[in-house]
Amino acid sequence: MKAKRQKDITAIFREGTLIDRALAAATREAIRRHKQAGVPMAIWRDGKTVLVDAAELEPKPRKRRPKPRTQHGRR
């Protein structure tokens, strides 16, 4: 098994992709937990903080990343 290459923190912040993915995953998990517990969730909507009933919460679907192509265009 190959070890994952570590990026330095400056590169991570500059690129932003890893941070965006972590925030999206945390949002999905928070919504899942609120739905499971049946408690409303505070969200920001139209410049205001509002409580949304757990039954109305819908997580954003995960974006699928395209698989990287090899040198010859094959996967």
Band of the pLDDT at 42, cuts 50, 70, 90? very high
Band of the pLDDT at 51, cuts 50, 70, 90? very high
Mean pLDDT estimate for the chain: 81
pTM above 0.75, yes or no: no
Backbone φ, ψ for residue 48 (5° rounding): -135, 155
Supply 64's token pair: 């699928």
* Spans of all domains in the chain: 9-56
Identify any residues that bridge with 22 across adjacent strands, giving them in sequence order: none
pLDDT in tens, 7-39: 688 887 888 888 899 999 999 999 999 999 999
Residue pair 51/40 in contact by the 8 Å Cβ criterion: yes
